[in-house]
Structures are given as structure tokens and as C-alpha cells.
Amino acid sequence: MLLDPRLFLTSEPKAPRVRPTTGERLIAALRKFAGERAEVVRHKEAPWASVTFTGSRHTLVLRFEGWEACDDGENFVADLPEHEFTLPGVLVADAAVTCNTQVLLPEPAMEVEIELLLLDNK
């Protein structure tokens, strides 16, 4: 007696689970920290290594438009260097504001460029 191989199939194969990248997790954490009015305009990621550590350097530009958003942006700039990020598998070794551009007319707007150094913690 021959067995039918279809009896051993339990269901359709599952799609592979896609995990967010370190950069995507960083952007999500920055959006949460900067507030809902912040918009990530640009993100650049580059690998980084020293003799003892590996990781990545991230450069981001966030834009804040409107009075309330600019208030959020000023708080973001003031709090960023001391903020404790909780990102699984990485340690934020350095976070700094490299450029802060503000305009008042026709509407208040603020662009903040930041650099973060993330070290692999595995």
C-alpha cells in the first residue's frame, strides 16, 4: 500500500519573518523621542569599526514645522546628548547635534542634523 504524500502537508509554508534593521529601529526610537510632529527627512548609515568594537554611524535630519513642533525640536536638541536609547543588540555610544537651522517666516521651521554612533552589543 502506498501513502499519499499530501497527507503529510499540514499547511501552506510560512512567509519568512522580516525583522527591522538597526536603522529602522533607530528611526522608530527617534520618532518616539522627538515627538509626533517630527519628520525624518534624511537618513544615512555607514559601517564603523575600531580595534575593539564594530557598529555603525548614523546621520539623520529631522524637520519640525510650526510653533509647537519647533518647541518639540528645541526640547529634542537639549535632551539628545543625555537621552538613554533602548535598542536591542546595540549601544548608542554617542549622540550629537551637528547642525540646527531655524527659520521664522513664512512659518516657523527647524531642521536638526544629528549623528549617532551605534556599537554592536552581541
Could you state, in order of their start, the residue ranges of all structural domains in the chain?
22-28+36-120
Q: What global pTM score does this model have?
A: 0.81
- pLDDT computed for residue 97 by the predictor: 96
Cell of 16: 519568512
Joined together, the cell numbers standing for residue 33 give: 523621542
Q: Do 94 and 59 form a contact (C-beta atoms < 8 A)?
A: no
For domain 22-28+36-120, say whether CATH 3.30.70.20 is its number.
Answer: no
Q: Look at residue 24 and give its three-state secondary structure.
A: helix
pLDDT at res. 16:
76
Predicted pLDDT of residue 111: 97
What is the end-to-end Cα distance of the chain in Å, rounded? 53
Q: Which residues of the chain have pLDDT under 50?
A: none
Q: What is the pLDDT of residue 75?
A: 95
In this predicted structure, what is the pLDDT of residue 18? 81
Say if CB 116 and CB 57 are below 8 A apart: yes
What pLDDT, on the 0 to 100 scale, is given for residue 6? Answer: 67
